[in-house]
């Protein structure tokens, strides 16, 4: 354990360097990988607690990027930093850059409202509004000023279809979303996030409160959604990361230990700690 | 080895069950105390009032003669009073509660303000009357008008609504708040579309309690100098007016016995109007009640 912690301070992000190298090398596979998010020496403190340390990562368009790591490693904090939700905690302080499509999200030119419209979020626990299914999904477009009933109807149907729940709820759109099961509620929340047509969807352990069947549905959904969206998903579940993601970042005690293509992380990781974690030896 | 003595458990069981049953009855009896007192009061008042509750009582102005004395001026005056008090109090209190819970920075100053708002609820109503007299009646030269008295009562019930609204706003789960903000909604959109609708039932409970207190409040009106004999109803906010509790108070002070019965009739009318106003509030509350 002591060795692991010492090693932390020496090799921080070998994996990121690999991804960058490949992108720069311009091979056929990596040439078309367009980054949606890049972080440059991003640091975050909760009061005196240095929760995220020198994070250098990139996440690509039309990919599912997984973030794994043991509890308390900062993975949820990191993903909430990407749409600045972490600032709801008053004692948070940040340093360094997060670039969304090459624009610094902390720059005054980009308002949080604009950022969060483009970078949607699905939360750990299903959190529908105490409103009808329709009103839940139409909420995003409505707050952005879309009033036309016809447009809203179409957006609601498309979002529910994309979230693979349309057939289950199409006959009861006016019922309260609280009457649905947990798995259905979570897919309503995904539909709600899709309805604003975001560019990136952040998912913070989206299946941790769901049963296995609902989990499978949400995982299949991620596969489908990456055709049109970029997904960054935090997960506790290593099998899930292996199944759904294209790249995986392994967080440990506030550092990124390794970030690489998922098959490398799970097949042939460079760092001993990554190997220990993904093979279930600690965590 | 057995750590737990099964015989002991069996022996203790009947005691636990008896206590369980006893507590239910204790709580029931406590509820009955309040209920019996209320019923006794109402029945007693109703018996006194019954001969005097008629159309003449509802349509006549106050008078020094029992036969022609009525409650009309007081009823209309009190309704005018509530017309000022209720909207002003609701607006100020809900806005204050929203600011304190949703907007204000979380620091010692905010905490200090929150504590003092609760303390304000304990200030005797006569003190609010003195405040109203000094500020609204004298300094702002409103006289003993509907506006002056309405604002005074609004200030008096402010803390009750603020505290219950704060409680209601705080009980809205932060997860739905995050869901709204996470979608790019502004704070105001989140407040108006998610938080307020979810908090309305709790806020209305506070409003009901506050209105019930305001409509029967006498002391501040005495201090402000609301007249007990007036033969017109107000035409505007700056007119003088009568109020139900003031009229009841005036009648009770009269030496002739008949006036006690008039006072009883007044109390019944006051209660009836209060119940009517509260039913509207409860209707709205039920409309907004949603489960989490």
A22 touching B (Cβ < 8 Å): no
Is A143–B290 a contact, with Cβ atoms under 8 angstroms apart?
Answer: no
The owner of tokens 């003595």 is B5
The pTM is what? 0.84
Half-sphere exposure of A108 (CA within 13 A, CB side): 0
Instruction: Please count the residues of chain B.
Output: 292
pLDDT at A282 over 50: yes
A120 touches chain B (CB under 8 A): yes
The answer to whether B21 contacts chain A (CB < 8 Å) is no
The closest CB to that of A123, out of B105, B178, B189, belongs to B178
Of A116, A130, A189, which is closest to B184 when you measure between CB atoms? A116
Chain B, residues 193-222, CB within 8 A of chain A, namely 193-194, 197-198
Q: How far is CA B231 from the centre of its chain?
A: 29
Q: Do A120 and B178 touch (CB under 8 A)?
A: no
Q: How many CB atoms lie within 10 A of CB B230?
A: 18
DSSP B53-111: -SHHHHHSPP-SSGGG--SHHHHHHHHHHHHHHHHHHHHHHHHHHHIIIIIS-SSHHHH
pLDDT at position B118 is 87
pLDDT band with cut points at 50, 70 and 90 for residue A4: very low
Shortest alpha-carbon distance between residue A40 and chain B (Å): 23
Task: Choose the mutation target among B111, B175, B177, B179 for the interface with A, i.e. most A CBs under 10 Å.
Answer: B179
> What are A115's two structure tokens?
């950022």
Q: Do A139 and B193 touch (CB under 8 A)?
A: yes
Q: Specify whether the CB–CB gap between A248 and A68 falls below 8 A.
A: yes
On whether any CB of chain A is under 8 Å from the CB of B292, the answer is yes
Within 173-192 of B, beta carbons closer than 8 Å to A belong to 173, 175-176, 178-186, 189
Q: Where are the domains of chain A?
A: 2-278
**Does residue A80 register a pLDDT over 90?**
yes
B198: nearest CA in chain A? Answer: A130
The whole-angstrom separation of Cα A171 and Cα A189 is: 18
Any chain B CB within 8 A of the CB of A163?
no
Does residue A130 sit at the B interface (CB-CB below 8 Å)?
yes
**How many contacts, defined by CB atoms under 8 Å, are there between A and B?**
72
A81-124, pLDDT tens digit by residue?
999 999 888 899 999 999 999 999 998 888 999 999 999 999 99
Minimal Cα distance from A89: which residue of B?
Answer: B106
The tokens of A248 are what? 């995986």
Residue B172 in contact with partner chain A when CB distance is under 8 A: no
Structure-model confidence comparison of residues A2 and A255, the more confident one? A255
In the numeric block, the tokens 């913070």 are attached to A204
Chain A residues within 8 A of B178 when measuring between CB atoms: 85, 88, 123, 127
- Give the pLDDT confidence of A185-235 residue by residue, as tens digits: 999 999 999 999 999 999 999 988 888 888 898 899 999 899 999 999 999
Interface with A, mutate which of B102, B175, B183 (most A CBs under 10 A):
B183
Is A120–B194 a contact, with Cβ atoms under 8 angstroms apart? no
Reduced to 3 states (helix: H, G, I; strand: E, B; else coil), residue B118 is: helix
B198 and A121 within 8 Å at the Cβ level: the answer is: no
List Cβ neighbours of A68 (8 Å cut-off, separation of 6 or more): A75, A234, A235, A236, A238, A241, A248, A249, A250, A251, A277, A278
Nearest by CB: A116 against B105, B182, B291: B182
Cβ–Cβ of A127/B292 closer than 8 Å?
Answer: no
A2-278 architecture in CATH?
3-Layer(aba) Sandwich (3.40)
At A31, the pLDDT band (50, 70, 90 cuts) reads: low
Structure tokens at B29: 């009896």
CB contact under 8 A, B183 and A115: no
Report the chain A residue with the minimal C-alpha distance to residue B196: A130
List the one residue out of A45, A67, A55 whose CA is nearest residue A99.
Answer: A55
- pLDDT under 50 in chain B at which residues? 292
Q: Over the stretch A157-180, which tens digit does the pLDDT of each residue have?
A: 999 998 989 999 999 999 999 999
Quickly state the pLDDT bin for A57 (edges 50, 70, 90): very high
On the 0-12 / 13-18 / 19+ scale of CB atoms within 10 A, B66 is: middle
Q: Is A127 in contact with B179 (Cβ distance < 8 A)?
A: yes
CB contact under 8 A, A127 and B198: no
CA dihedral A202, A208, A209, A214 (to 10 degrees): 80
B290: which chain A residues are within 8 Å (Cβ-Cβ)?
130, 176, 178
Pick from B106, B186, B292: CB nearest A130: B292
CA distance B93 to B95: 5
| Alpha helices, H only, chain A | 2-10, 14-25, 28-31, 75-82, 112-118, 133-143, 149-162, 166-169, 182-194, 212-225, 238-244, 262-267, 272-278
Would you state the pLDDT for residue B67? 84
Q: What ipTM was reported for this prediction?
A: 0.83
**Which of A7-21, A247-261, B117-131, B151-165 has the weakest average pLDDT?**
A7-21
Q: Which residues of B touch A139 (CB under 8 A)?
A: 180, 183, 185, 193
pLDDT score at A5: 44
Residues of chain A in contact with residue B108, where contact means CB-CB under 8 angstroms, are none
Residues of chain B with C-beta less than 8 angstroms from the C-beta of A83: 182
Which candidate in B182, B185, B187 is best for mutational testing of the A interface (most A CBs within 10 A)? B182
pLDDT value of position A283: 57
> Quick one: tokens of B276?
């009517």
Q: Which of A262-266, A278-282, B74-78, B248-252 has the lowest mean pLDDT?
A: A278-282
- List all residues 6 or more positions away from A214 whose beta carbon is below 8 Å from its beta carbon: A181, A182, A183, A184, A186, A187, A207
Record: contact A192-B183, CB cut-off 8 A: yes
**Whose CA is closest to B169, among B196, B137, B143?**
B196
Examine the pLDDT at A3 and tell me if it is beyond 90. no
CB contact under 8 A, B179 and A83: no
């Amino acid at each position: 354990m002591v060795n692991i912690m010492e090693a932390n301070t020496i090799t921080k992000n070998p994996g990121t360097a690999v991804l960058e190298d490949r992108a720069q090398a311009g091979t056929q596979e990596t040439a078309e990988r367009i980054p949606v998010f890049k972080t440059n020496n991003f640091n975050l403190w909760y009061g005196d607690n240095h929760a995220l340390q020198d994070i250098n990562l990139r996440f690509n368009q039309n990919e599912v990027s997984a973030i794994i790591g043991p509890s308390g490693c900062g993975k949820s904090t990191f993903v909430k930093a990407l749409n600045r939700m972490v600032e709801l905690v008053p004692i948070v302080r940040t340093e360094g850059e997060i670039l969304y499509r090459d624009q610094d999200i902390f720059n005054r030119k980009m308002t949080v409202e604009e950022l969060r419209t483009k970078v949607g979020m699905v939360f750990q626990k299903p959190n529908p509004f105490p409103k009808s299914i329709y009103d839940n999904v139409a909420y995003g477009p409505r707050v952005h000023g879309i009033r036309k009933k016809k447009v809203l109807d179409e957006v609601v149907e498309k979002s529910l279809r994309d979230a693979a729940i349309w057939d289950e709820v199409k006959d009861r759109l006016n019922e309260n979303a609280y009457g649905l099961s947990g798995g259905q509620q979570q897919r309503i929340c995904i539909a709600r996030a899709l309805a604003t047509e975001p560019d990136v969807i952040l998912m913070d352990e989206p299946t941790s409160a769901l049963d296995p069947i609902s989990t499978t549905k949400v995982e299949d959904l991620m596969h489908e959604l990456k055709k049109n969206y970029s997904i960054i998903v935090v997960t506790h579940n290593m099998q899930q990361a292996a199944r759904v993601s294209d790249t995986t970042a392994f967080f440990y005690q506030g550092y990124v230990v390794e970030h690489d293509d998922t098959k490398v992380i799970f097949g042939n990781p460079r760092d001993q700690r990554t190997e220990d974690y993904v093979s279930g030896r600690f965590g | 080895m057995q750590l737990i003595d099964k015989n002991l458990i069996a022996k203790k069981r009947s005691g636990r069950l008896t206590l369980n049953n006893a507590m239910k009855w204790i709580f029931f009896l406590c509820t009955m105390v309040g209920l019996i007192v209320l019923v006794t009061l109402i029945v007693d008042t109703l018996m006194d009032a019954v001969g005097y509750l008629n159309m003449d009582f509802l349509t006549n102005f106050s008078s020094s003669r029992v036969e022609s004395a009525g409650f009309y001026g007081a009823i209309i005056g009190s309704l005018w009073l509530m017309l000022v008090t209720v909207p002003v109090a609701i607006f100020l209190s809900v806005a204050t509660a929203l600011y304190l819970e949703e907007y204000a920075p979380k620091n010692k100053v905010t905490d200090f303000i929150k504590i003092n708002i609760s303390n304000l609820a304990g200030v005797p109503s006569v003190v609010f009357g003195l405040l109203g007299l000094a500020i609204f009646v004298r300094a702002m030269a409103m006289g003993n008008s509907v506006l002056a008295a309405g604002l005074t009562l609004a200030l008096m019930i402010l803390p009750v609504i603020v505290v219950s609204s704060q409680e209601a706003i705080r009980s809205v789960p932060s997860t739905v708040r995050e869901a709204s903000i996470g979608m790019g909604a502004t704070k105001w959109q989140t407040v108006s579309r998610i938080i307020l609708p979810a908090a309305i039932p709790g806020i209305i409970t506070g409003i009901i309690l506050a209105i019930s207190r305001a409509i029967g409040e006498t002391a501040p009106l005495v201090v402000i100098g609301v007249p007990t004999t007036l033969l017109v109803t107000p035409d505007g906010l700056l007119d003088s007016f009568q109020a139900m509790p003031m009229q009841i108070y005036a009648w009770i002070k009269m030496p002739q016995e008949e006036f006690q019965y008039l006072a009883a009739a007044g109390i019944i009318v006051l209660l009836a109007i209060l119940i009517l106003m509260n039913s509207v509030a409860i209707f709205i509350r039920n409309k907004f009640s949603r489960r989490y």
